[in-house]
């Protein structure tokens, strides 16, 4: 009986060595208004390895967790401050102090000016529940508190929003982010903090001029979107990837940069991006995998393709629970295959060695 127990433990130990891709909860999780502490907490509860957030600066240099540089798509700012919008109709984070922003109610994302909910089947944007904006400090406290309470090591992926935009107001958002992190002694690559931005030259600045040792990820999208002045066509080329590998640890590209699609959303094949990244020691975490908005017919087939064929290192997703459930089923299937494969000569040999050692030990004891 003792021998059987030992053998079972041995096989289980071998099986548990199988790892899975990382799951990054995009803005927390899709089931509550984005980036609120509630949505972040739900992402952690679902089991996301990393929670992705965005930060912008207020007029009084406080770091607010919000995706856009304006407030109109997720809050009641038009009701609370009807005369604070600019000539284009938008109310910008940088025009408000933190105390003012604390008065706002955060809602599920909607289209400014007409109120149409972007994702109709998500949490109702007209709910009376008063969600609020969070600061970066509060988000860090949530992360550290969760890790302490659970004994786990979840991480935070912080997107620094539009450094070039902030610099026009004489604000170095990256410096303020680093100062905030330093106050929590979060400085090392082993700490549960990662920084990313679309302005790739800012990542170079953070590494070389600001001297940060934290892990850095490079966001990539289409040049035509004008997310920053960075030339993504160059940075996703073989030369560009090779140059970036001296500064960053991973790329976080639009998922359409990883595979080629036809006009119907059918995947035609892989690009070279993942291959070049891996050749240069960089991980690949594409964005954004949304169950309620994706190219093709089956969300599960999309995940399957990126996992097995595109061979990405993880998924940035609005639905971490769905992706994790799929990956768990995949890992369970791999466990079965692992045991079946190792019932061949390799496992038999290992078991024979173990049996021989146990016999020898028993002789010594006798």
CA separation for the pair 304, 133 (Å, rounded): 35
Nearest to 192 by CA among 152, 229, 162, 250: 152
166 is catalytic: no
The encoded tokens of residue 236 equal 């996703």
The phi, psi pair for 361, rounded to 5°, reads: -65, -40
Alpha-carbon distance of 3 to 8, in angstroms, equals 9
Pick from 69, 41, 118: which is nearest to 292 by CA? Answer: 118
Given the residues 67, 166, 205, 319, the one annotated as active site: 67
Calculate Rg over the CA atoms of the chain. Answer: 24
Q: 139, 256, 248: which is closest to 198 by C-alpha?
A: 248
Phi and psi at 334, nearest 5°, equal -65, -35
Residue 70, token pair as written in the block: 């304006």
The CA angle 109-89-40, to the nearest 5 degrees, is 25
The string of DSSP codes covering 159-206 is EE--HHHHHTTT--HHHHHHHHHHHTT--STTSSEEEEES-HHHHHHH
For residues 134 and 363, give the distance between their C-alpha atoms in angstroms, rounded to a whole number: 66
Q: Write down the catalytic residue from 26, 199, 205, 319.
A: 26
Q: How far is residue 174's CA from residue 157's CA, in Å, rounded to a whole number? A: 14
Q: CA separation (Å) from 283 to 185, 314, 364?
A: 26, 8, 50
Total Cβ atoms within 10 A of residue 25: 32
Do residues 259 and 306 lie in contact, with contact meaning Cβ atoms separated by under 8 Å?
yes
Task: Please give the Cα distance from 2 to 129 (Å, whole number).
Answer: 57
How far are the Cα atoms of 316, 320, 334 from residue 133, in angstroms, in the given order? 22, 22, 42
How many Å apart are CA 64 and CA 66, to the nearest integer?
Answer: 6
Residues with catalytic roles: 26, 67
């Amino acid at each position: 009986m003792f021998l059987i127990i030992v053998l079972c433990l041995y096989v289980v130990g071998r099986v548990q060595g199988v790892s899975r891709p990382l799951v990054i909860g995009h803005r927390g999780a899709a089931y509550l208004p984005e980036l609120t502490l509630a949505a972040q907490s739900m992402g952690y509860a679902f089991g996301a390895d990393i929670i992705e957030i965005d930060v912008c600066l207020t007029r009084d240099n406080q770091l607010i967790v919000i995706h856009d540089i304006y407030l109109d798509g997720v809050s009641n700012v038009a009701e609370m401050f009807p005369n604070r919008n600019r000539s284009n109709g938008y109310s910008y984070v940088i025009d408000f102090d933190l105390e003012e922003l604390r008065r706002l109610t955060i809602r599920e994302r909607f289209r400014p000016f007409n109120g149409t909910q972007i994702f109709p089947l998500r949490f109702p944007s007209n709910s009376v529940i008063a969600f609020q904006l969070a600061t970066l400090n509060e988000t860090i406290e949530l992360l550290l508190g969760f890790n302490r309470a659970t004994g786990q090591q979840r991480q935070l992926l912080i997107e620094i929003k539009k450094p070039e935009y902030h610099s026009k107001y004489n604000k170095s958002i990256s410096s303020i982010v680093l100062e905030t992190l330093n106050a929590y002694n979060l400085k090392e690559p082993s700490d549960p903090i990662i920084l990313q931005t679309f302005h790739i030259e800012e990542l170079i600045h953070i590494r070389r001029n600001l001297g940060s040792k934290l892990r850095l990820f490079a966001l990539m999208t289409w040049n035509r979107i004008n997310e920053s002045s960075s030339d993504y066509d160059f940075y996703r080329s073989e030369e560009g990837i090779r140059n970036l590998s001296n500064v960053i640890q991973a790329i976080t590209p639009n998922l359409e940069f990883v595979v080629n699609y036809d006009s119907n959303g059918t995947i035609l094949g892989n690009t070279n991006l993942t291959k070049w990244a891996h050749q240069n020691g960089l991980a690949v975490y594409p964005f954004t995998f949304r169950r309620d908005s994706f190219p093709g017919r089956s969300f599960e087939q999309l995940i399957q393709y990126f996992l097995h064929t595109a061979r990405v290192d993880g998924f940035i997703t609005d639905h971490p629970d769905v992706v994790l459930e799929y990956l768990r089923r995949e890992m369970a299937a791999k466990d079965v295959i692992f045991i079946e494969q190792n019932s061949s000569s390799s496992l038999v040999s290992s078991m024979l060695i173990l049996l021989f050692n146990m016999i020898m030990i028993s002789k010594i004891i006798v």
